[in-house]
Structure 1
């Protein structure tokens, strides 16, 4: 049984994809998905991602016909597609680039290039690739102004992306033009237990990171911060 990826049938027309990407951005900009408004750079990134997604479907269209094929063919398609996604982003978008490198498969591991594969082998990897593409296409703005706040106030926030520069801000404050990606955070305040956690600014909605401390004398463990929509 050959590998048949999930998803809609591709249109194969890049011009229609670009127009659709622009229309999608206009639609999302008036909705509640994210508070940040898309910029011209966001629209350019969105068009590149939409084009890459369309080309990916075109490259695997052959396999819809039920043919078996060596793993190396899919490895090549995955690697080219991942590189195209990276090329769609500015160099300073390190957290978002890291998200793609971590989540979009570049190959099927531990499978020789000449081995014939079917859906049992490649299905999860194609599903992961399509999931990343769909997620990136659904994002409104690829950067956001992230508000940090704590209770009690007066904390020091430290956000560290998987790749890129460390961000720090005393509570309450706003970190402007933060690229979406995955961040580890540490929130510190004298007399309170330190809060540590991770936020995924690609998949999670919201632009306010709200943290509630537990006093150092308490036996309770502080909960992770919440990412919510700012009021």
Structure 2
């Protein structure tokens, strides 16, 4: 028994010596460290998510812009002095140069009856309306005379429609907007933008969308029917 114990200790000693010979400068316990965890630097995850979100918004905006319909008038060129004045006024970023902008309707080409169905009461006056946008708002510009007073202007904004009259003469009457706006957050002023203008600012409900036009190409009745159906579905849910 004593001889067997001595042999066992001798074998164990040789085994330890063999291991030590394989890695003479490294302690045995160092061979069994836990795997190293690579941690992402603070903020990198958020940056990646922000980049993905920006890409998704860009794709959505691009798709919406490609769906422009007959409601949009041809855009005015960047060399038009009006847009330079809008940029100087700093109402929308860069005068809206990075986004769709232009006249609300093209009075020379629009059909009066079809325009009326979209809430355009005075086609000629509506043809003077211009609009621009940036990421979070849409701005509407209407030239007015120097004699026009604030009390003679009537503006009514709902999330999907706009009514506008000057000196008791309606120009837009519940005209359906292309996308949703914050009616309660909307505001208007009289100021100089190339000439004296009524300036109406409409905060977008969804800043991921680049509007292809100010007005929706569908009739007021079609918009109302769709909203009624949507409201009904929300009530059921």
Asked if these proteins are the same fold (TM beyond 0.5), I'd say no
- Point out the structure with max Rg over C-alpha: 2
TM-score, scaled relative to structure 2: 0.25
